[in-house]
Chains A and B, each alone.
Chain A
């Protein structure tokens, strides 16, 4: 008999959530993590002596309510800071910034500086988003149906979708069907006239994508960022002590449920015989047996690298190989000698997220770089200064500025991701930042650049895509990661998936892990 019921590969949020749920249900679970610590993209690292950063995510957009409820993360000590100002879109003058407040009326006032018409429509817009995300909220808790053979059970399991339909009327569903495939400019055309507002909203639509706002389904991505937001635009919260505390808290749940966690244990193969999972091998040659295995790593790594192409059916193999990754987001962390000054921003507002994006056209132009395999000359930059919340992230009086930069395509045409290209990306980013923070360069003591290639190397994400596969229409819902593996189970018996490469995609929400664990418990 196997020592473990279930082995989980990787220890990102979804893996930890799945492990917690299964551990609570009494399963013997073992987590195998290649890095020296758990957390994956929710890690907090020291990047220079005395300077820490949230490597990938400074904020959490939303968390699956089942995760908060069932795993009681807050009572375990996880503190979410719910800022009043969620985000500031920096305008060309110090009095033109748009502040996205928690309170829509205050946001509306901020918009009124630019357009009364837009300010008036703001409340309706927030309600509209709330309504649409309500559908997705239900959908995100479901295992997608197995198409084209939808069974009665599948149909019944989708009855929770009736709730929002009854509440919003079928009009809501029609609106969702219209909005999801839309591109941001057209979506915005229906609502707003001010370019700064339009582009500030569009930045949510391109989050993590390799496309610009003029791409189909950026509307969907916008909604994806706004689940459980109750219509608060650019809603997010910050974890006290750093994003890395999230996995640490989940670890406590794991420990109390006897889930074993092994770090520095890189899985090198998932051993399969006659199309069924048998064991895993780790880098030092050890082979571990379990009844089932859940992979939290992306589909390409799971199937091509770990299971191995020779063990896949040709059709499935093609589908897996054809998944688009195309990571195009880079992270740059700057260690600063003092807090930078942004004109028109009060001290107490310095802890929010800032976006620098004057127009949608600029966003689109920045994204053009991906097509040609270049780094954007004038990238889209959003940043925060995590030291304003966690003073221990830097030595006394010093600060950290962490920027997410689009677009830095994984595949560069004429060069590799080496120190030169990273330097170029950094300089392009500093140029953009300098326009809003004059003199920033003088404050920089040191910095670290995570190109998509670095993200791939560090976290094992194929092509450095943070979502484990592009969030495009053809790779969503029942098509994520592929139509034949979108139910968390896979064509390989006893091999399951729980990472962001599955429905409902990327983010630190844990929905994938929760759904996957639920699916496994249904089976056994």
Chain B
């Protein structure tokens, strides 16, 4: 927790409890800021190995910078049900729900997961600080809200081998832990909670622990995971895999309604492809009335996956006398999409998917052009000149392996 504003010339980024290990492993010394923490961009000079760890072995990511809040008390279920768009009343103990939450105009403020730790205790994670919003909306309710951001450390272990590694170190088997459920167990003698969640769209887990156990848990996983190819992984690789999984990122794919300077920068859940998470049949929740209206009128925008067509892309480069130029990392610059001469949308993040061998992107499209299979024109720059090349609207997730949800028979 931050103690007031103590920013001065010596202020540095915060260090996660895993930093003692991650800093030594980070060969590239490339770091990003993530919620005020120093967070590894890549550990190796190139992120490719880390990316393939996510998809073919096991990747270990420090996700401590996530904002985390504990909601505890007899009104906690009622409170969360009012706050978020998912139906928390049906969330069972040890179940996890991904959900966005909105302001009263039905525009998304943030998104994250709600973990039901016990009957009257929840943890909610978010990309941005939300304590003020939580407290504001809990007035008059019997509950306490605690900022858990620095009192719980977290690791993500993602990839096809992740279950085997955990089975090798945990005192309980993870074979029965279903997608979006969690369990308490011990890794060695360290008590942890493990949720079957992640941001990669692969088989994967997130491990929640007391920061004092952080280094021991890390060491244990690295040691026992070695033979399974466990690989410390940075944000670069994660970004590609989350695009393949069709997962949105705050401040990249959408802007929190709290920071949007103008109305048109805000998005409703329907406009972010999160319509499935809005439960209109449940009791009143923040933004419900606005969303009811939007549903009736139909949302103006849709959020879709697009695939930039290879043949034409290659042709453009050939004309310039070049081999096809592909982004080596995920990009985040807003890129116009056209139908004829009319701009009808924009892509907000994209990447060359090494596993799919497809050039993919996530995009906001005006509803009328958002049907799957629709061909659009994607703007790209070749040798300083703008070109249009065809892209097709496809379904997301782009990559959706069966192992993500399945349990061993």
Contact = CB atoms under 8 A, between A and B. Distances in A.
Contact of B284 (A275, A304, A308): A275
Interface stretch (B25-33, B74-82, B153-161, B383-391): B74-82
A274 B286 contact: no
A310 B136 contact: no
B283 interface: yes
Contact of A275 (B137, B138, B139, B289): B289
Contact of A314 (B79, B140, B286): B286
A309 B284 contact: no
A318 interface: yes
Contacts of B284: 273-275, 311
A369 B286 CA distance: 42
A318 B286 CA distance: 14
Contacts, number: 36
Given A314-B103, A314-B104, A309 B289 contact: no
Given A275-B289, A314-B103, A315-B104, A309 B283 contact: no
B286 A310 contact: no
Nearest to B137: A314
Contact of B78 (A275, A310, A317): A310
Contacts of A70: none
B364 to A, nearest CB: 26
Contacts of A316: 104
A416 interface: no
> Taking chain A's interface residues, is the majority helix, strand, or loop, or is none over half, making it mixed?
helix
Nearest to B133: A314
Contact of B283 (A274, A308, A314, A317): A274
A390 B79 CA distance: 56
B286 A313 contact: yes
B141 interface: yes
Interface in B100-118: 103-104
Interface string A302-342: 00100011110111111000000000000000000000000
B82 A317 contact: no
A315 B136 CA distance: 10
A318 B137 CA distance: 10
Nearest to B104: A313
B104 A310 contact: no
Given A274-B283, A275-B284, A317 B79 contact: no
Given A275-B289, A317-B139, A310 B75 contact: yes
A318 B78 CA distance: 20
Contacts of A310: 75, 78-79, 82, 138-141
B66 to A, nearest CB: 23
Interface in A234-286: 273-275
A308 B141 CA distance: 9
Given A314-B103, A314-B104, A315-B104, A309 B286 contact: no
B104 A304 contact: no
Contacts of B75: 310
B136 A304 contact: no
Interface of B: 75, 78-79, 82, 103-104, 133, 136-141, 283-284, 286, 288-289
5 contacts: A304-B140, A309-B140, A314-B133, A314-B286, A317-B136
